[in-house]
Amino acid sequence: MQIKILVIVCATLFFTGCATKKPMYDYDEYSETFYAMKRETSAETQTEWKSTLETIIIKSEEINIRVPPGVYANLGYLHLKANDGSKAISYFELEKSIYPEAIHFMDRLINRVKTQP
Amino acid sequence: MNKFKLIIISLLILTITGCANTFVTKEQEFPEMYNEKPRSLLIMPPINMSTAADAKDYYATTVEMPIAFQGYYTFPYELTSEILKQEGIYDSELVYDMPLNKFHEYFGADAVLFTKIVKWDTSYLVVASNLTVSIDAEIKSTKTSQTLWKYNGTVVIDLSGNNGSGGMAGLIANIINTAINTAAADYTKYARQANGRFIGTVPVGPYHPLYLKDQQIKIQQQPKQ
C-alpha cells in the first residue's frame, strides 16, 4: 500500500514537472497566412492574416505567455489602414507595454496618427 | 611508454585539427554580439540574388519567427517593410554599405538583419531534380554599422522521388513525378530548413532563458570571405 502511494506521488511529481514547461511563444498560423497573403493579396487572405493575429493573442492569454513581438503592432497597423485611428493607437500601446524595445517606434506611429487630419 | 603516449597524443591532435569542420565557441566567433548586446532586430527586405523573382516576398515571411524564438525583439516586418518602402528603401542593397544609425533613429533598432537569397531554384528538365535554397544572413550594428554576426544556411533537397529503376517507363514516371513534386513544393518549407542551419549560431537575445549564458556553446566555424 505504501509503495503504491509512493509511486503515485512520484508519478504526479514527474508529470507536473513536465506540464509546467510552457512554449516561449504561440504563433498559431502566422507564417502560413503571411505567406498566403504574399502569394495572393486578396480580401480573403488579408482577413485570414488578421484573424490569425487575433487568435495568437487569445491563445497566448489562455496559457499566460507573452504575445510574440510585433503581433499587437501588426494588428494596430491593420486598423490604421482601415481608418480606425483610436483602435490602432490602443494596439500600439499594448505593444509598448510588453516590449520596451518598441517604445520609440510605437510613439512615432502614435504621433503620426494623432497629427493626421 | 612515455614516448608511445606522446605519439598517440600527437596523432590524435593531428587527426582532429586535420578535420574540415572547425568548432569554435559563440563568444570566440561573434564577440561583438556579447559586447553590444543588441535587444531588438530590424529585419530588412531580403536581397535577392536568385533567378526567382518572387523569392524575396516569400522568403521574407519565414524570418521573423526564428529570430523571435532566439530571444530578440523583432519589429513587425509587414509594417516596417511598408514604411521602408514609403521612405524610398525598396532594396536593402541600397543601404547595405551605408551608415545604419538612421535605423536606430527611426525605429529604435539596436541592430539590423540583412538576408541575402543566394540560391532559390529548381532544375526541371533533369531526372534528378534538385532544389537548393541558400541564405546568407548578417546582423549589423546600428551604432557602429559593423558586422556583429554572419552565417550561411544552405539546404539541397532531392525532389525526384528516388525510384531509379524500371527502364524507359520508369524514366518517364520519374520525370512526371519530378514535375509534380516541383510544382507542389512549398518553397518556404525549405527556406525554414535553411534558416534552421544558421539560427542556432546567433547568440541568444534578452527574451531567451539562456541570455548571456551561451558564450561557451560550440558552433561550426564557417570560412571567412
pLDDT in tens, A55-106: 999 999 999 999 999 999 999 999 999 999 999 999 999 999 999 999 999 9
ipTM of the complex: 0.84
Residue A18 lies in a domain: no
The pLDDT tens digits of the residues spanning B39-95 come to 999 999 999 998 888 899 999 999 999 999 999 999 999 999 999 999 988 889 989
Calpha distance B100→B208 (Å, rounded) = 26
- What span, in angstroms and rounded, lies between the C-alpha atoms of B38 and B204? 10
Q: Select from A35, A74, A102 the Cβ nearest to the Cβ of B73.
A: A102
Number of domains in chain A: 1
Residues of A in contact with B61 (CB under 8 A): 31, 34-35, 38
Distance, in Å, from the CA atom of A92 to the CA atom of A48, rounded to the nearest integer, reads 21
- Pick the residue of A101, A107, A116 with the most B CBs within 10 A to test the interface with B by mutation: A101
Which residues in chain A touch residue B106, judged by CB atoms under 8 angstroms apart?
A: 105, 108
Contacts of B43 (CB under 8 A, 6+ apart): B60, B63, B64, B67, B74, B75, B77, B80, B112, B113, B115
Look up the pTM and report it: 0.82
Q: Give dist(CA B59, CA B79) in Å, integer.
A: 16
A2 occurs within a structural domain: no
B219 contacts chain A (CB < 8 A): no
First to last CA, chain B: 45
Question: Considering the domain boundaries, does residue A17 fall inside one?
Answer: no
Asked whether B148 and B30 are in contact (CB, 8 A), the reply is yes
- CATH number at B29-202: 3.40.50.10610
Taking the alpha carbons at both ends of chain A, their separation in whole angstroms is 77
Size of interface A-B (CB pairs under 8 A): 73
Sequence-distant (6+) residues with CB within 8 A of B89 are B45, B95
Q: Does A60 touch chain B (CB under 8 A)?
A: no
A102 DSSP 8-state letter: G
How far apart, in Å, are the Cα atoms of B68 and each of A3, A34, A66, A67?
Answer: 46, 16, 12, 11
B106 touches chain A (CB under 8 A): yes
Residue bearing cell 527556406: B191
Instruction: Give the nearest partner residue to A35 out of B39, B61, B73, using CB atoms.
Output: B61
Cβ pair B177, B155 in contact under 8 A: no
A67 touches chain B (CB under 8 A): no
